[in-house]
Amino acid sequence: MKEYLFSYGTLQKEKVQVELFGRLLQGSPDTLKGHRVTTIEIKDEAFLSKDEDKFQKIAIISNNKNDSIKGTVFEITEEELLLADRYEPDGYKRVTVVLASGKATWIYVAVDNP
């Protein structure tokens, strides 16, 4: 079964896709409204050992309906979704959202996101 995953950060990088999924992902640009991006300091040693930056983007719900996040929605398998779950560092959780296109998708947001 296919899944959709909206990425606004490292999962858009071809190097990360090949290392994590063994292939380049097919995706299309989309926007998530009512959210904004901030940064979080990563302390997860397993994530940092992958040569990723200590400060990463993270999505949070915004009180401003004009805020939005531009990114890419990828079509992936259920197995690849589980790989993405293991890839994401502490401080992130996976939730479902509806993008500007109307597509329902998974996204990783801040754990303490309301």
- Count helices and strands (H / E) in the chain: 3, 7
The candidate with the shortest Cα–Cα distance to 27, out of 106, 114, 113, is: 106
Residue 52: its pLDDT value, please?
Answer: 61
Task: Name the residue with higher pLDDT: 17 or 113.
Answer: 17
CATH of region 2-110, choose from 3.40.50.1820, 3.40.50.1370, 3.40.47.10, 3.10.490.10: 3.10.490.10
Task: Name the residue with higher pLDDT: 3 or 59.
Answer: 3
Mean pLDDT value across the chain: 86
Q: What angle do CA 26, 68, 113 make, to 5 degrees?
A: 95
- Could you tell me the residue ranges of all domains in the chain? 2-110
- Give 9's pLDDT tier (boundaries 50, 70, 90): confident
Q: What's the burial of 45, exposed, middle or buried (CB within 10 Å: 0-12/13-18/19+)?
A: exposed
CA distance 44 to 69: 24
